[in-house]
Amino acid sequence: MASVPGEVPGTFTIASSCATCHVRNQCVTCHVNAPELAPIQALGTDPRVGPLPSVLTAPPSHKRTGWQRTHGLEAGRPSSNCASCHTTESCLTCHSGFVPETIRELPSGGPGRGVGAQLTRTPPASHSWDFRDRHGSEASARSTACETCHVRETCLTCHRPEASAAGDYHPAGFLSRHPASAWSREANCSDCHNPAQFCQDCHKQSGLVAGRFGGIGGRGYHDALPAFLVGHGQAARQSLESCASCHVERDCTRCHAARGIGYGFNPHGPGFNADRLKKKNPTLCIACHGRSIP
């Protein structure tokens, strides 16, 4: 033991056996908190003695499974020895968002202290290769955990108020293949984009709009698929919000409505429960049937 009880009760000083071989300028090569430790300060200095090699070895506790996730509890305990090796700056390598009081109380690097542990920022085990596309639910449930490493600007790299100013979420060349991505729902486009504005504006600029006839059956966006109208029901069921980027309700009611409004094509699939839907929201029925709901 380097420290022994001092003359004043409750204080500690350096063991005389340590002073036989060691001087203060040796201890400060490793101990970040050397200026705050009375046993080290009780040692004399000797410029003739060179510094000891500063080789920090992680203690056994740092090798436990889940240490990265639970080390905050250990650091907050009164008996914590974190300040022996860690400076505020070393912890800020990862803790760039919300900084706990425990970290702010650590010594800062500078003269008379050891360099301390040099850390490398690494993502936690939960951040697998596909975590970017499914992180929303975890971020909503445990936002404080995200704030440990992330700040608002990190999220705004992708989640920007103006989707046109988005960062590097999409890979190079994504624009040319985004229809297939939107159709297969690789991600939810509406998380970042406003389909009724962002998508429609871009399609208009590219000439991908209905021609002078307008609505379903007109020329424009679906020209590449001449028989698209015949099978458009599947597309509508797959991604109705993408249809709403260009179409309004009256485009659908031209065909899918009771006679007198449309052509009477039944939009209801197998197992449709008209009574249940009417009780839930009769306004939907009125859109096609008018006030004469059967």
Residue 4 vs residue 124, higher pLDDT: 124
Taking the C-alpha atoms of residue 55 and residue 203, their distance in angstroms, rounded to an integer, is 61
Mind listing the pLDDT tens digit for each residue in 21-31? 778 877 877 78
pLDDT at 272 over 80: yes
Mind listing the pLDDT tens digit for each residue in 206-234? 776 655 444 555 556 676 677 788 888 88
Instruction: State the average pLDDT for the chain.
Output: 76
Q: What is the pTM of this model?
A: 0.43
Residue 4 vs residue 146, higher pLDDT: 146
Mind listing the pLDDT tens digit for each residue in 93-139? 888 777 888 888 888 887 778 788 888 888 887 888 888 878 888 88
- Are 24 and 34 within 8 A, CB to CB? yes
Q: Quick one: pLDDT at residue 3?
A: 62
Q: Quick one: pLDDT at residue 66?
A: 81
SS3 content of the chain, % helix, strand, coil (to 5): 40, 5, 55
Rounded percentage of the chain residues whose pLDDT exceeds 70:
81
Alpha helices in the chain (DSSP H): 16-19, 24-27, 38-41, 67-75, 88-91, 101-104, 131-134, 136-141, 143-146, 152-156, 174-184, 200-205, 232-238, 240-243, 249-253, 274-280, 282-289
User: Dihedral of CA 206/211/215/220: which sign?
Assistant: negative
Q: Quick one: pLDDT at residue 78?
A: 79
Q: Quick one: pLDDT at residue 278?
A: 84
Taking the C-alpha atoms of residue 111 and residue 3, their distance in angstroms, rounded to an integer, is 23
